[in-house]
Amino acid sequence: MPHIRVMLDYFHPWPNSAGLYVARARRWYAEAGLDVELVVQDPGRGDTLEYLARGEVDFGIFPPNRLLARRAEHGQPLIAVSAINHRGLEAIQTTTSTGITRPRELSGRRIAYNPTPRGRAMVRHLVAADGGDPDAAISVDAGSRELTVDDIAAGEADATFGNYWSWDALRGDLPEEQRVTWPVDEIGAPRYHSYLLGTNETLLDHHPSLVRDFLAVTARGYAAAAQEPDATLELLEQVIPYFPRPLIARSLALIAPTWTDVDGRWGVIDEGRMGPYAHWLADNGAIPDDRDWAKSFTNGLLDVAT
């Protein structure tokens, strides 16, 4: 039975990984002849794609912009084989106390985020899309910190960008009625898959049946995770016991609908998202070029692919 290492998308598990945990707990991977280990990254050794590039994991979950950047900058043979999310998970968040009621009012205000080229481009895009002056928005370098509404209320910034509306934006003690959260795909962001599942082209070339089997079981796990939230919540509490049950439950309810496309299919990567998003990233200097975007993914290993 081959040992398969899968690297998750964050510093710790959260409900977006539920399908993998469900499939493993119910021994569906084992029944398919796969011994699956789920791991998280050590930031000191790089992100998920860095682990994939070094061959230290077999599959990984990552944002499409990072995949496109690695292929364009370094020619790394990394490829996405399924989509995890069919929406952008990021949000702009503020509080009612700031008086900010729409994105254009971020002009002249402090917005905290990780100021990567993509992050800067997205903040500018969202402010401009609402008629604001992107040059007037004041960036606050939050690094990898995920500020909460409590931090905004304490005066660290007037708003944040990058918190997930299905996870980070739910944290904090500030009452719900004092929170303002705008998912980016509702305020003018380009359409994109927040996370893709991928591998190294070498594994795909040499062991396509293994990839196909892994994806089939994973799809089954995500379907069960969405359809049986109570059982999934109980399982998630075992792997992220340091978060409150209500937070995990609410996050699961919000994230599960993003796992399938409008036709109810799990995993299918939408070229109508990938192409325009790659063009946007290139036009905004977040990746060197967009020439390779169509080769960065395949739907050919999915049972639902046509």
Looking at the predicted structure, is the pLDDT value of residue 1 above 80?
no
Q: What's the rounded Cα separation, in Å, for the pair 81 and 265? A: 14
Euclidean distance between the first and the last CA atom of the chain, given in angstroms as a whole number: 30
Give the pLDDT score at 304.
72
Give the pLDDT score at 286.
96
Looking at the predicted structure, is the pLDDT value of residue 144 above 90?
no
Q: Which of 86, 84, 35 is nearest to 58 (CA)?
A: 35
Which CATH number is 3-86+193-295 given? 3.40.190.10
Domain 90-186: state its class.
alpha beta
pLDDT > 70 fraction of the chain, expressed in percent and rounded: 99
Give SS3 for 278. Answer: helix
What integer is the mean pLDDT of 240-248?
Answer: 96
Give the H/E segment covering residue 66: helix 64-74
pLDDT per residue as tens digits for the range 80-96:
999 999 999 999 999 99
Looking at the predicted structure, is the pLDDT value of residue 289 above 60?
yes
106 near 188, Cβ under 8 Å? no
CA distances to 16, 63, 181 from 243, rounded to whole Å, are 14, 24, 21
pLDDT per residue as tens digits for the range 112-128:
999 999 999 999 999 99
Looking at the predicted structure, is the pLDDT value of residue 106 above 90?
yes
75 near 43, Cβ under 8 Å? no
Give the pLDDT score at 296.
98
pLDDT per residue as tens digits for the range 178-235:
999 999 999 999 999 999 999 999 999 999 999 999 999 999 999 999 999 999 999 9
- 74 pLDDT tier (thresholds 50, 70, 90): confident
Looking at the predicted structure, is the pLDDT value of residue 136 above 90?
yes
Burial zone of 33 (CB within 10 Å; 0-12 exposed, 13-18 middle, 19+ buried): exposed
Q: What's the rounded Cα separation, in Å, for the pair 142 and 266? A: 34
What integer is the mean pLDDT of 234-261?
Answer: 97
Average pLDDT, the chain: 96
Give the pLDDT score at 305.
47
Give CATH 3.40.190.10 domain extents, the chain.
3-86+193-295, 90-186
What integer is the mean pLDDT of 154-172?
Answer: 96
Q: What's the rounded Cα separation, in Å, for the pair 154 and 227? A: 39
Largest CA distance in the chain: 58
Give the pLDDT score at 306.
40
Cβ neighbours for 188, distance < 8 A, ≥ 6 positions apart: 103, 125, 126, 129, 130
Bridge partners of 60, per DSSP, are: 7, 198
- Pairing status of strand 35-39 against strand 3-7: parallel
Q: What's the rounded Cα separation, in Å, for the pair 3 and 248? A: 29
Looking at the predicted structure, is the pLDDT value of residue 147 above 70?
yes
Give the pLDDT score at 48.
97
